[in-house]
C-alpha cells in the first residue's frame, strides 16, 4: 500500500475488490480524468486511455507519490500525447508504404516466370501460416486492415475490442511478418 503525506491510506471499492493507494485515487477521480482527456482532444479514445492508465497503475508498484492527483493528470496527459504521436507515426508509415508501392499492389503473375511464381506462392503460404499461428483475431485484424483497407477504429467496433487492442494485434502481425521476411532473406 502506498503511503501519502498525511500518513493515511486512501481506499476505494472496485468491482474486483478494495483498491488502495494510487489505484484508489485513480478510481475516485476517474470521471474527472475522463472529462480532462475529452477536453484535451482525446475524444473517443479517452476510455481506452483510462484503461491503459489503470493497467499501468496496477502493473507497477509506484510507492508513495507526494501529489497523487496532479500525478494522475500528468500521466493521463502523457498517455494521450504518446497515443497522438503513435498515430502520427503510423499515418506516416502507412503513407510512405502507399507511396513506395505507388498506391497499387502489382499482380504477382504479370510477366513473372513460373519458377518465381511458385516461390512467391510458397512465401505467401508461409506468411498465411505465420498469421494463422498468431490466432484468428490477429489474422482477421491484419487482413481487414492491410488487405481490405478497413480502418482500425471500424475494426475495433466490429470486433467489440478497443482501438489499442487492434493496434497491438497489428504490431504482433507486423513483427511476425518482419521476422519471416528476415528468415526468407537469409535463405
Across 88-95, average pLDDT: 85
Q: How confident is the model at residue 7 (pLDDT cuts 50, 70, 90)?
A: very low
Q: Give residue 95's pLDDT.
A: 82
Matching CATH number, 106-186, of 3.40.50.2000, 3.40.50.1000, 1.10.10.10, 1.20.1070.10 = 1.10.10.10
Cα-only R_g, the chain: 22
pLDDT tens digits, 51-65: 888 888 887 766 778
Q: What is the DSSP annotation of 147-164?
A: IS---HHHHHHHHT--HH
Q: Give residue 165's pLDDT.
A: 93
Rounded CA-CA distance 141/131 in Å is: 10
C-alpha torsion angle, residues 83, 176, 134, 169 (rounded to 10)? 10
Number of H helices, E strands in the chain: 8, 2
- Please state, rounded to an integer, the average pLDDT across all residues of the chain: 80
C-alpha torsion angle, residues 161, 48, 98, 159 (rounded to 10)? 10
Amino acid at each position: 500500500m502506498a503511503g501519502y503525506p498525511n500518513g493515511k491510506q486512501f481506499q476505494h471499492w472496485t468491482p474486483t475488490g478494495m483498491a488502495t493507494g494510487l489505484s484508489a485515487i485513480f478510481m475516485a477521480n476517474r470521471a474527472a480524468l475522463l472529462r480532462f482527456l475529452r477536453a484535451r482532444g482525446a475524444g473517443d479514445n479517452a476510455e481506452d486511455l483510462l484503461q491503459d492508465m489503470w493497467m499501468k497503475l496496477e502493473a507497477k508498484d509506484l510507492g508513495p507519490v507526494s501529489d497523487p492527483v496532479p500525478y494522475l493528470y500528468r500521466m493521463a496527459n502523457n498517455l494521450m500525447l504518446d497515443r497522438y504521436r503513435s498515430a502520427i507515426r503510423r499515418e506516416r508509415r502507412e503513407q510512405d508504404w502507399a507511396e513506395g508501392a505507388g498506391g497499387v499492389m502489382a499482380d504477382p503473375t504479370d510477366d513473372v516466370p513460373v519458377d518465381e511464381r511458385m516461390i512467391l506462392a510458397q512465401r505467401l503460404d508461409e506468411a498465411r501460416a505465420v498469421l494463422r499461428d498468431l490466432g484468428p483475431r490477429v489474422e482477421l485484424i491484419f487482413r481487414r486492415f492491410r488487405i481490405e483497407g478497413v480502418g482500425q477504429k471500424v475494426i475495433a467496433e466490429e470486433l467489440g475490442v478497443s482501438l489499442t487492442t487492434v493496434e497491438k494485434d497489428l504490431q504482433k502481425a507486423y513483427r511476425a511478418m518482419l521476422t519471416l521476411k528476415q528468415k526468407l532473406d537469409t535463405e
